[in-house]
Amino acid sequence: MKPTRLSASFTDRSLGAVAALACALLALAAPPPVHAQEVDLEALDSWIGALMDDWPTPGLAVGIVHGDSLVFARGYGVREAGGDLLVDEHTRFAIASNSKAFTGAVLGMLVEEGSLDWDDRVIDHLPGFQMWDPWVTREIRVRDLLTHRSGLATFGGDHLWIGATNDREEIISRIRYLQPVGPFRASFHYQNLMFLVAGQVVPAVSGMSWDEMVSSRILAPLGMGESSTSVRDLAGIDNVAAPHEVVQGELRAVEYDNVDGVAPAAAINSNVVDMARWMRLNLNGGVFEGRRILAAETTREMQRIQYPLGVSAWAAENLGRRFNGYGLGWFVSDYKGRKVVSHSGGLTGMISLQTLLPEEGLGVIVLTNYAPDAPTRAITYRILDAYLGESQRDWKEVYLGFRRQGEERERQREERLLESRIEGTSPSLPLEEYAGTYTEAVSGEVEVRLDDGRLVFDYNPRHLGDLEHWHHDVFRVTWRHPIFDMSARSFLQFQLNEKGEVTGLEVTFYDPIRFDRVE
């Protein structure tokens, strides 16, 4: 595919003398730009094709923006395992949490217009919103919603939308029952529900739904005509990748998750051609093809660290990382001396990774239709090294090594579990005594039923599993439709009172949840 050269202009407010001097000094200290670096795109194409042999990923697509041009956009593999329909640059995937920066952007537009401030109290726009702690309810700001510093657990409450049909208002109404696991503004826990709340600020302030504003203020102006804000928009479209998961040891195509209930956190579907346009906007400080879509102040605010995070020893040694943090819908770090603005995304059977190096005008988007994120990262680092003129490290082998380590850890974990299992025990009661309806404030109701002599746990289609007795009143759940980042098997323990009656159960999705039996 030949690159298409596109023109763009960049305008910004004039700087004062002091600011200009500071910028000049920073420019002298910055690494040299890489726009003159020649990259063999055909060799890159061959390398990505070979990488597909080492992972069971049915299909993926890669896009590269450089110098405000889409210079590489190609698909690999097939849209569905066992089929012959090929992935190309127009194949649509779920971008999942890469939707978060779109939410930050539309809120930024409202800030630009003066109808919102990043530090407005949430309850000033959503008076019915409540957190567990009344003080946090009063003090939490829009900025807090976008920076994962609410104190709620990582992925806490996600079972309210994964595989569920709860609408946005219903999900938000249950947040008040979620107990925090860390201090407000002093702990980082990746939280999808807070981005949902942020998205609901949009209609409260503008009168337009989040979907309408994203579509009319971002997708349409950027010409992202093959992108949408709901899985429902994919109906009747041919060139769509199917998500895949390992089910009962076999890689299978599975249904898309309908994530309309938490759309501002995860619902956008797109392809690498359209995402290239979004990357160009963010690389150019809010300007696309000569038109300002976002104020420069908005992109700077979104792409600066709002909450600092640690740097692991591995990242420091292997990525040259010196800083790390979260902005407003973006992770912000560095790679080999260059600032990196990035985000990954994952839903059932789908992974995306978007990486921007603003100082180099370089952007990479990788979309896959199978959940492990190793291929997206291996491909991205291979591309960054090529454009930065770094030595060509074998990132494929690095991530294959991580996979082998993960498999060994899982094997050892299973061995430890088997060693701790108490043999020769039986359930305290006949199985039918455990069947019934159970409830919990956040989650609502769940059913445990007896099917063909086996207990089944049924919360929703993604949290539906068969129970196998483990020991005493503990059962192991094998999920029928597993989620990529949740264990394929979990434990469930029934609680009994002093009379030997079942009073509740505890089961682990991401974290343990205690359900009480409904009489």
Residue 35 has pLDDT above 60, yes or no: no
Residue 5 has pLDDT above 60, yes or no: no
Residue 110 confidence class, pLDDT cut points 50, 70, 90: very high
Residue 249 confidence class, pLDDT cut points 50, 70, 90: confident
Query: 3, 224, 205, 284: which is closest to 99 by C-alpha?
Result: 224
Residue 451 has pLDDT above 90, yes or no: yes
Is the CB of residue 348 less than 8 Å from the CB of residue 162?
A: yes
User: Both tokens of residue 275?
Assistant: 């995402």
Where b means 16+ CB within 10 Å and e means fewer, 88-120 reads: bbebbbbbbbbbbbbbbbbbbbbbeeeebebeb
Q: What pLDDT, on a 0 to 100 scale, did the predictor assign at position 24?
A: 38
pLDDT digits (tens, 9 = 90+) for 268-283: 999 999 999 999 999 9
Domain membership flag for residue 348: yes
Q: How many helices (H) and strands (E) does the chain have?
A: 15, 22
User: Considering the entire predicted model, what is its pTM?
Assistant: 0.90
> How far is 322 from 235, CA to CA, in rounded Å?
45
Q: Which range (80-94, 127-141, 394-408) has the least confidence?
A: 394-408
Same domain, residue pair 231 and 268: yes
Domain membership flag for residue 415: no
Mean of the per-residue pLDDT values for the chain? Answer: 91
User: Both tokens of residue 140?
Assistant: 């939490």
Domain membership flag for residue 509: yes
- The residue among 484 and 506 whose pLDDT is bigger is 506
Same domain, residue pair 363 and 443: no
> How far is 327 from 478, CA to CA, in rounded Å?
37
| Residues in the chain, overall count | 519
Same domain, residue pair 377 and 510: no
Q: What is the mean pLDDT of residues 375-400?
A: 94
- The residue among 22 and 87 whose pLDDT is bigger is 87
Is the CB of residue 122 less than 8 Å from the CB of residue 130?
A: no
- The residue among 19 and 42 whose pLDDT is bigger is 42
Domain membership flag for residue 391: yes
Same domain, residue pair 220 and 367: yes
Same domain, residue pair 349 and 483: no
The range of the structural domain enclosing residue 449 comes to: 431-517
Same domain, residue pair 343 and 456: no
Residue 12 has pLDDT above 60, yes or no: no
Same domain, residue pair 202 and 255: yes
Q: What is the CATH number of the domain that holds 208?
A: 3.40.710.10
Residue 482 confidence class, pLDDT cut points 50, 70, 90: confident
Beta partners for residue 494, in sequence order: 505
Residue 9 has pLDDT above 70, yes or no: no
Residue 290 has pLDDT above 90, yes or no: yes
- The residue among 327 and 487 whose pLDDT is bigger is 327
Identity of the residue numbered 284: N
Q: How many domains does the chain have?
A: 2
Same domain, residue pair 316 and 446: no
Same domain, residue pair 235 and 345: yes
> How far is 93 from 501, CA to CA, in rounded Å?
48
Q: What is the mean pLDDT of residues 35-62?
A: 88
Q: What is the CATH number of the domain that holds 501?
A: 2.40.128.50
Residue 37 confidence class, pLDDT cut points 50, 70, 90: low
Residue 426 confidence class, pLDDT cut points 50, 70, 90: very high
Domain membership flag for residue 494: yes
Supply the Cα-derived Rg of the chain in whole angstroms.
24
Same domain, residue pair 399 and 437: no
DSSP of 109-174: HHHHHTS--TT-BGGGT-TT---SSHHHHHH-BHHHHTTT-SSPPTTTTGGGTTT----HHHHHHH
Domain membership flag for residue 153: no
Q: What is the mean pLDDT of residues 154-175?
A: 95
Specify the DSSP element, H or E, that contains 189: none
